[in-house]
Structure formats: C-alpha cells, structure tokens
A and B are shown apart, each in its own frame.
Chain A
Amino acid sequence: MNNTLSPPAASPPRRTIEIVNRSLKRRYRAERRFRFYGLLAIMLSVLFLALLFASIVGKGYSAFWQTSIRLAIFFDPEVIKKDTLVNADYAALVRESLFKRFPQVEERQDKRQLTSMLSSGSVYRLRDMVLQDPDLVGKTAEVWLPADDDMDMLIKGHFRRDLPESERRVSDKQIAWIERLEAEGRLERRFNTMFLTAGDSREPELAGIWGAVSGSFFTLVITLVLSFPIGVAAAVYLEEFAKKNRWTDLIEVNINNLAAVPSIVFGLLGLAVFLNFFGLPRSAPLVGGLVLTLMTLPTIIIASRSALTAVPPSIREAALGVGASKMQMVVHHVLPLALPGMLTGTIIGMARALGESAPLLMIGMVAFIVDIPKGFTDSATVLPVQIYLWADSPERAFVERTSAAIMVLLAFLVVMNAGAIILRKKFERRW
C-alpha cells in the first residue's frame, strides 16, 4: 500500500496493489469454484452412502423381528419317554396342540397346511426345553414357537393378501387361521434372537449369523496374530535395519505389487500351499486366517513402513545421542510413535480381510455349515460368505436376512474403523 513500492518508470504507475486487486476477483472466483466442486463431491458421496445404507437398512431391519406363535404344548409322557428325550417325536406335540386349537380342521390336506404354519425348527425348541428341564414332561406350557418363513413374510407384508390364492405361497385358509391367532393374541412379532445366536440354516426363520460371526472371529484372530507381528517386524527390519540396496528395492517392489494382487490369487496360493502341501483341513478358519494373512501382510507392511518413516529423525537422533543402541532406539522410541499408524494400517487390513470372500472360495470356506465353529480347525464360514450364500437362496425371507447380515457386517466394519480412529487418537503423541 505504499507509493514507494512503484518502480520509477515513466509508464503509467503500476502499483502492485492495483495488479493484485485486479486479479483478486478472479482468484476468489476460482477458490469459490473449487470449494463448490469439493462440496459437490462430498455431497454426492454422502448421498450414495445414504442411499446404500437406506436401502440396506430398509430391507434388512425387519429381519430382526420374527413372527412367533404361542401354543399350549402338552409335553405328553406317552410321546416323550425317558430314554428318548433326544429323538422323541416332538412334532407330534406341536401337531396335537394345533389340532386342539383348530378342532374344525379335519381333512388331511388342511392339517398339513395347518402344521406347516409353524417352523420345522419348533421341534428343536421343544427338545431343548425338555433337555434343559426334564420335569416339563407331563405338564402343559405356553410356548412361543417360530412361525414358518412364509407366514412371517405374510405378517411383514412382503406377500400380498389380495392376490389370487394360486399366486401366493400362503393359502386362504392359512390367512384365516393367522388372523384368528392374531386376534387371540397368540401371534406376535418378537425380537429375533435366533438371528443373532444361531448358525446357518436353510429355513430362513431358523437361520442366524452367529456361526459366520464366530468363523470370521477365528479367522481374523489367526490373521491378526500372524500378520501384525510379522508385518511390523518386516517393516521395522526393512525400514530401520536393512541396507538400502538392490535386494531391498526388489523386496519393496514386490511388497507393493502384492498389495495390488487380486485376492483370489491368495486363495489359489493357499489351496496349493496350505491344503495340498501341508495338508491342513479344508474349510478351517486356520487356513482362512493364513490365506488372509498373506493378503493383509503387504497392506500392514506398507502402512507400518510409512508410519516408521513418519517418526521424525530428531527423535532417533535424540535416542542415539544419549547412547541408545539401534534396537533400543527402535523399541523405546520409534515403535511407540509409529504404533498408532501401524495399528491403523492393521485394522484397515483386518477390515478388508473381514469383508473378503473370494480367496476363501478356494479353500472351502464357501460352504453350508450348520454347526457353530468352536475352534480354529472346525469347519466354518465367514460373514461375507454367509451374505453371498443367503443372497443366492431362493426363499424370499432370505432377502431381508441378507440385508440384515450386511448390516451386521457393516456394523463390525464401522466399529473396527472407529476403533482405528480411537486408537490413533489415544496413542497419538505430539513431538
């Protein structure tokens, strides 16, 4: 703003401030434009994310409720003998109870329709009750039993009642019975604990994600336990100890390459190495974890290395300057500072591993497994595979369960990523 700034030229005085002022508008316009594009990009991605969430939640939330029917079950000692507690004909108990409630149903075809309103899983519920409390035998109890998936779909409004009978999976009679049960307060939508606690099933009303969650858990434990120490050790060695030469360059290029290799390739590798060569069992979380370890290692190594390089050299010098050995410098100062970054990388790698199904196909983890895995070598599947399998099932009720399983997976991912952020915040130090 000073006149003395202008050069002593004969030409019309061109003060810097004038030149600046002239371009100022244009500069601000460019800035506004850029801000607008940025905002637009953010809004678009938020919109798509919201759409995705809305569609998944909209489809899936109803899976957390399941239609149940309350019946008075007489635990007939004629049917349940002392020595046949496990394999007694519990279905007969349900049938008896239903026929008592609807005495006017007589024809065989109708009786079949009536009994098919309850899930075939009802018998297991009754069996478990008796096994837990054998004193029930001889008594009558009111029991909530899961309804068949078709009834559930009807109650939830996924089947239209106004279509001609031939075009829906629920008959007129069944609708009438349902309406009667509803009026009597014997039909309710109750929280679907099965969905959270059961293993896979081909009956949607019995299917749960606990088997897949356990499988994912065991798989990820193996992945974490192997990939974190190995990844960190590799990164520390490469970054702090290895001489920079052609070999380390080669290794670095290869690691970066591996990070970009399609995950199915790791599945093929796992099949060849762990199953065919080492003879490890198929479909086991152990092998899944090993394969996912191969897959996540490059990610963790790269993240850890950049976390290590981000540690300021002044800290290293400080440690070396008081006479710390290289190892002490790394362990006492560099690692603690790099740890948040390493953990973030690891969690992101884990989250990716959690969502992976392609490499598991090759090692037999894409499978129908009813029993909930109890260990690292039990046959197991994982959450994304469960989603894939359900999405492929013909039963309509699996549509909502697929979305609900996606919700669970997303919840885990959100928790893991939030964990990454919290860890980083917590361990982050100023220097």
Chain B
Amino acid sequence: MKKAVIFSMVTALVMATVAAVQAQQRDGISIVGSSTVYPFATVVAEKFGKAGTFKAPKIESTGTGGGFKLFCGGVGIQHPDISNASRAIKASEFEACRKNGVTDIVEVKIGYDGIVVANSKKTPALKLTSKDIFLALAKEVPDPKGGENLVANPYKTWKDVNASLPNVKIEVLGPPPTSGTRDAFIELAMEPGALKFEPLKKLSKEDAKKFTKLFSSIREDGAYIEAGENDNLIVQKLGANPNALGIFGFSFLDQNTDKIQGSFVDGNQPTFENIASGKYPLSRPLFFYVKKAHVGVIPGIKEYLAEFTSEKAWGKDGYLSEKGLIPMPDAERKQVAENVKATKAMTEVK
C-alpha cells in the first residue's frame, strides 16, 4: 500500500520531468482561431496529414479574437503557427503581435462564407431586404409615424415591417454576441439596413459612434432569441418551429437543403453561385494568418500552405467547396497563392 503510493508519486514526477524536457520540441503545426474557418481548415489539415509526409496539424477552435491572442503571444514553439480568422486582423491585434516580436505575418484570404437567414421548408421562403432585417431586429428604429426620433422597436409581425411579408410573428434564432457570425451579420445586414433611412444616414456622418451603437443593438424583447454557438441546434429548432427564422453559416444550409431554405436578401437567395458572384449581400471573407518566423522551423508549414492554396482544395471544384466554402474569383486566388508562395508578410492593416 505504502509502496504503491510512493511508487505512483515517483512515476508521476518522472513523467512530468520527461514532459518538460519534451516540450522543447514540436513536430506538428499548431493552428488556432475562428470557429467559422475551423470546418475548412480541419479538412485541409486532415488531408495533409493523411498524405503521410507530415503530422496532421492540430487545430483549436478558439474564436477569431481568442486565436489572435494566442497567436500574438510570441515567437517560439509554445505559440501557435497559424491563426484562422473570420475577419481581417485588427490594427490593435497587429500591434499586439508586433509588441511580442511577431513582426512578419502572412495574410491568406481563403474564400467567402455566406450568412443565411433561413426558415423551414414547410413555409415559403421570405423575400427580405436589409431594411426589413434592420426594422425587424434593431432595438430602436425610426418612428413609423414619421419624424426623426427613434422609438423602441414596435414591430410584432413581418407584415408590420413590410406589407408584402406574411403575417407571422417575428421570431429569429441567432448567435450570441460572443460569436463572429453575429458581428458579421450586424456589419453586413444591420448596418446597410440602417443606412437606408435618411435620418440615420445623416447620423452616421455626424456621430459615427452613436450610429454604430444603434445598428449593432439587437432587440431584447424576445423577438430575437440567442440560440447559443451551436448552429445545428438552430437548424433543429427551425424544423420544429416553421415560423421561426435562423441565422447561421452557409455550410449548415448546404448540408440541410432538405429541411431548410435561405431567405432572399435584397433579391437573391443564398446559393453557392450567388455568394461566389457577390450577388448575395451577406457574405464575408475568411482568412488565416501565418507566423513567418515559424516557416521552415516547424516542419510542414510551407507544404500546408501549398495544400490549402491548391486548386484541388480551394478551387471552384475543390474539396473545400464541398464543405461550403465559397471560392474567390480565379484572379484573386492566383494573386493570393503567389503571395503565399513568396511568404510575403503584410506591412500594415488595411
């Protein structure tokens, strides 16, 4: 008994020491970042690993901001090599990186992701405009009776918002504030919707801060329901409640076309083609960022980049498109691929 206790303690100690020594090397690529890019990066990583030459990269889904925090922690094996992002790096993040010695960063734009506003196939698809979306979801809207003042959102049904829409209660299941999808949705749908109103347009020029707060405040009276980070859950709930709408990434629509459909936004439905051509407005670019100092130190980074930017991966008929990534136009792909090949570091944040 006593011996067993001592023995196990000693073993643990030894193992901890061994591990501390082993921590001095790393043979696989470490990737962190956006949960939106995660489903695409993981596919590449798996193919890359199974090809047999290198270990499959490890990919943590930390969210874009969390990813940059880790990525910008410094240069060295304990810091990740690549950070996925569902938006471009912010100037503040770039600065933080620089402060920690992460000076040379290669930006790789990989394609687009659509954000869909979908409902169950049991009811017809809605034909929305960004104005409708703003009116239905903003916390404060311009007074429907006219005038310049803002009132708490009075709209109860879609018909209230726009006479051409059906007379059903507004009920939207969407991501919580922590989610990148929500940020993108606000930027792509709510802001343009708000700008459709003359007084608000004026406001945006006079008091940008107040305007930002206005269009990014989503109503909290129950019409918008925060459904958590799990998009599958939203899809399931839409099946159970045909009158509800859900907001999530295009890949979830792509995988569930038998159950749900995307609403038209400004005249276009979220199809692969419409997003690729830019007709569908709710789409955002996806990126990843590479620490140049790690290229050539951690084995396989170059090859991973080559795999990701190859036509069979991110091309029009590539395996990433099967997973729902919307490819960039040919010319842009070529441009980015060349940058990657030359590992051209970005000099400033656009």
Q: Which of B298-350 contact A (CB under 8 A)?
A: 317, 319, 323-324
Residue of B5, B56, B58, B230 contacting most chain A CB atoms (<10 Å): B58
Q: Which residues of B contact A232 (CB under 8 A)?
A: 5
Whether a CB of chain B sits under 8 angstroms from the CB of A369 is yes
Is the C-beta of A144 less than 8 angstroms from some C-beta in chain B? no
Asked whether A364 lies within 8 Å of B60 as measured between CB atoms, the reply is yes
Q: A112 to B249, alpha carbons, bound, how many Å?
A: 26
A222 to B26: give the CA distance in the assembly, Å: 21
* Contacts known (A167-B257, A395-B255); A202 close to B323, Cβ less than 8 A: yes
Closest 7 A/B residue pairs (Cβ)? A370-B56, A368-B59, A367-B60, A368-B42, A394-B251, A379-B58, A229-B5
Q: Are B257 and A168 in contact (CB-based, < 8 A)? A: yes
A86 to B78, CA, bound (A): 31
Report the Cα distance A336→B229, complex, angstroms.
Answer: 48
Is B163 close to A, CB under 8 A? no
Q: How many angstroms between the C-alpha atoms of A377 and B52 in the bound complex?
A: 21
The answer to whether the Cβ of B30 comes within 8 Å of any Cβ in the partner chain is yes
Contact status A279-B23, CB under 8 Å: yes
Contact (A394, B19) CB under 8 Å given A202-B43, A222-B12, A368-B45? no
CA distance A331 to B2 in the complex (A): 8
A370, B45: Cβ atoms closer than 8 Å:
yes
Is B52 within 8 A of A396, CB to CB?
A: no
Q: Cα distance A226–B10 when bound, in Å?
A: 10
A175 at the interface (CB under 8 A from B): no
**Which of these binds chain B: A93-101, A255-263, A280-288, A413-421?**
A280-288
- Please determine whether A226 and B324 come into contact, CB atoms closer than 8 angstroms: no
CB distance from A117 to the nearest CB of B (A): 13
Given contacts A226-B12, A368-B38, whether A280 and B58 have CB atoms under 8 Å apart is: no
Beta-carbon contact of A394 and B257 below 8 Å: no
What would 15 A/B residue contacts be, using CB atoms closer than 8 Å?
A: A87-B53, A168-B257, A201-B46, A202-B46, A203-B46, A225-B11, A229-B8, A230-B9, A278-B20, A281-B22, A336-B1, A366-B61, A368-B59, A377-B23, A396-B256
Q: Is A427 part of the contact surface with B, judged by Cβ < 8 Å?
A: no
In whole angstroms, what is the CA distance A222 to B12 when docked? 7
What is the CA–CA distance of A166 and B271 in the complex, to the nearest angstrom?
12
Residues of chain B contacted by A120 (CB below 8 angstroms): 47, 319
Partner of A281, one of B5, B26, B257: B26
Q: Are B256 and A283 in contact (CB under 8 A)?
A: no
Task: List the A side residues contacting B61 at CB < 8 Å.
Answer: 366-368, 389, 392
- B121 beta carbon closer than 8 Å to chain A: yes
- At the interface, yes or no: B252 with Cβ under 8 Å from chain A? yes
Q: How far is the CA of A247 from the CA of B229 in the complex (A)?
A: 45
In the bound complex, residues from chain B placing their C-beta under 8 Å from that of A279 are: 20, 23, 78
A128 to chain B, nearest CB (A): 11
Please tell me if the beta carbons of A169 and B257 are within 8 angstroms of each other in the complex: yes
Contacts of A335 in B (CB 8 A): 1
Question: What is the CA–CA distance of A167 and B51 in the complex, to the nearest angstrom?
Answer: 34
Is there contact, CB below 8 Å, between B78 and A282? yes
A 257-293 to B, binary, CB cutoff 8 A, 1 in contact else 0: 0000000000000000001001111111010000000
CA distance A383 to B238 in the complex (A): 28
B24-67 contact mask (Cβ, 8 Å, vs A): 1 or 0: 00101010100100110111011101111101101111000000
- Chain A 393-406 near chain B by CB (<8 Å), digits 1 or 0: 11110010000000
Contact A167 B258 (CB under 8 A): yes
Provided the pairs A366-B61, A379-B28, A392-B231 are in contact, do residues A371 and B23 lie with their beta carbons within 8 angstroms?
Answer: no
Q: Assess whether B16 is interfacial by the CB under 8 Å rule.
A: yes
The smallest beta-carbon distance between A237 and chain B, in angstroms, is 12
Q: Decide yes or no: A377 and B19 within 8 Å by CB, A87-B52, A226-B12, A367-B58 being known contacts.
A: yes
A153 to B249, CA, bound (A): 22
- Measured CA separation A279–B21 after assembly (Å): 10
A195 within 8 A of B: no
Given A392-B35, A394-B231, A225-B8 contact (CB < 8 Å): yes
Chain A residue contacts of B324, Cβ below 8 A: 394
- Which residues of chain B come closer than 8 Å to A169, judged between CB atoms? 255, 257-258
Contact of B232 with A by CB under 8 A: yes
Decide: A202 and B60 in contact? CB cutoff 8 A.
Answer: no
Residues of A within 8 A of B41 (CB): 368
B15 at the interface (CB under 8 A from A): yes
Please give 14 more A-B residue pairs, beta carbons under 8 A apart, in addition to A169-B255, A230-B9, A371-B49: A167-B258, A280-B23, A281-B26, A331-B2, A335-B1, A368-B41, A370-B49, A391-B232, A392-B230, A394-B39, A394-B249, A394-B324, A395-B255, A396-B255
Q: Which residues of A lie under 8 Å from residue B257 when comparing CB positions?
A: 166-169
Name the B residues within 8 Å of A210 (CB-CB): none
Do the beta carbons of B50 and A394 come within 8 Å of each other? no
**CB atoms of A367 and B59 under 8 A apart:** yes
Q: Is B254 an interface residue (CB 8 A)?
A: yes
Return A390 CB to nearest CB of chain B, in Å: 10
- Report whether B12 and A225 are in contact in the complex, using a CB–CB cutoff of 8 Å: yes
Q: Which residues of A contact B15 (CB under 8 A)?
A: 222, 286, 376
B78 touches A391 (CB 8 A): no
- Cβ of A163 < 8 Å from any Cβ of B? yes
For B2, the chain A residues whose CB sits under 8 A away are 331
Bound CA span A284–B45, Å: 19
User: CA A392 – CA B319 in complex, angstroms?
Assistant: 20
Bound-state CA distance A395–B324 (Å) is 10
A124 at the interface (CB under 8 A from B): yes
Partner of B51, one of A87, A336, A392, A399: A87
Assess whether A228 is interfacial by the CB under 8 Å rule: yes
In this complex, what residue of A is CB-closest to B9?
A229
Distance of B117 from chain A, by nearest CB (Å): 17
Known: A281-B26, A366-B61. A167 touches B121 (CB 8 A): yes
Query: Is A233 located at the chain interface by the 8 A CB criterion?
Result: yes
Interface assignment of A412: CB less than 8 Å from any CB of chain B: no
A160 at the interface (CB under 8 A from B): yes
A217 at the interface (CB under 8 A from B): no
A169 to B254, alpha carbons, bound, how many Å?
Answer: 8
Q: How far is the CB of B8 from chain A (nearest CB, A)?
A: 5
- Docked complex Cα distance between A359 and B59 (Å): 17
Does A64 belong to the interface (CB within 8 Å)?
no
B307 to chain A, nearest CB (A): 13
Question: Which of B2, B28, B249 is packed against the most chain A CB atoms within 10 Å?
Answer: B28
